[in-house]
Chains A and B, each alone.
Chain A
Amino acid sequence: MVADRKQPTSDPGAPRRAPEWADGLKQLYDSVVEEELPDSFKDLLARLDEVDPKRGPVQASDPAQSPDGRGGRP
């Protein structure tokens, strides 16, 4: 399946130039990446070692099958 839906960017001659806000998108992302990690994350990461992956963590539902599934539905 190739993108045969019509190309949204009409670029007649215009060498595909990033829109002016493109940098802003990056800034939004980077501004979060650069934030200092909240303590809650440090705590969680520290606690991970005590969590046996085999047994699954706090939310027992079905984390183990998550990367390709829809994850635990209620």
Chain B
Amino acid sequence: MSDSDPDSSSSTRTPAEKADFKRDLTGVVPHLRAFARGLCGRPDMADDLVQETLLKAWAAQDRFEPGTSMRAWTFVILRNAYLTDMRRNRFRGEYDEGVAERILTAPAGQEEPIHLSDLHRALLTLQPERREALLLVGAGGFSYEEAAEICGCAIGTIKSRVGRARAALTEMLANGDIPRRSTNDDAAHRAILEELDEVAAGNLSSMRS
């Protein structure tokens, strides 16, 4: 990583700046947890991932440009940590049935409640880059532009991934065709890892902060 930030001159932050950083970092923790949970499914692993992210963000705080989005910045760190951990085989898209059942909520008056557990499981079977695109835009409320920035790819790519993710989910949910733990077998896992390499490669050129 060579062509990174030119202004590492600003590498000493004042105590006030550090305090601001920490405040902002603290503020995004719930969002990091939500993003991580969506990415890797298992709450305990997701939280580990977030803790790792916080430490990395803290260590890299000089690279954060005050005034920019802390959420976007830390999401990049989190996703990179996730990709790395995926490669180390720590996550296998495992799904925590109990949790999803617990957060199953059917808004009053809605005839056919969506089973969030189904949705969550379906989500976890998506290709990783589609899943994260959908999480960022559809759940995290990022714009396509922001999501593209986070993932280090073109806006059109994000739009396409979100569209495909939506189509896949819609189909799975409509047909009740939700694989139980398809990401759990080795072949599928290998395929995911290959994709991850591409995803990671695509990301390298981006995100200069």
Interface membership of A24, Cβ < 8 A: yes
Contact A1 B61 (CB under 8 A): no
Q: How far is the CB of A2 from chain B (nearest CB, A)?
A: 4
Task: Supply 13 A–B pairs (Cβ within 8 Å), ascending by A.
Answer: A1-B154, A1-B156, A7-B160, A19-B166, A23-B107, A26-B138, A28-B34, A28-B119, A37-B30, A66-B60, A68-B76, A71-B83, A71-B84
Please tell me if B182 contacts chain A, counting CB pairs below 8 Å.
no
Question: B-contacting residues of A (Cβ < 8 Å)?
Answer: 1-5, 7-9, 19-35, 37-38, 40-41, 44-45, 48-49, 51, 53, 56-59, 63-74
User: How far is B103's CA from A26's CA once the two chains are assembled, in angstroms?
Assistant: 12
In the complex, which residues of chain A have a beta carbon less than 8 angstroms from the beta carbon of B40?
none
A35 engages B62 (CB within 8 Å): no
Are A25 and B134 within 8 A (Cβ)? Answer: yes
> Is B203's CB within 8 Å of the partner chain A?
yes
Interface string of B53-77 (1 = CB under 8 A from A): 0111011111100000000010011
**Cβ-defined contact, B160 with A3, below 8 A:** yes
Q: A45, B114: Cβ atoms under 8 Å?
A: no
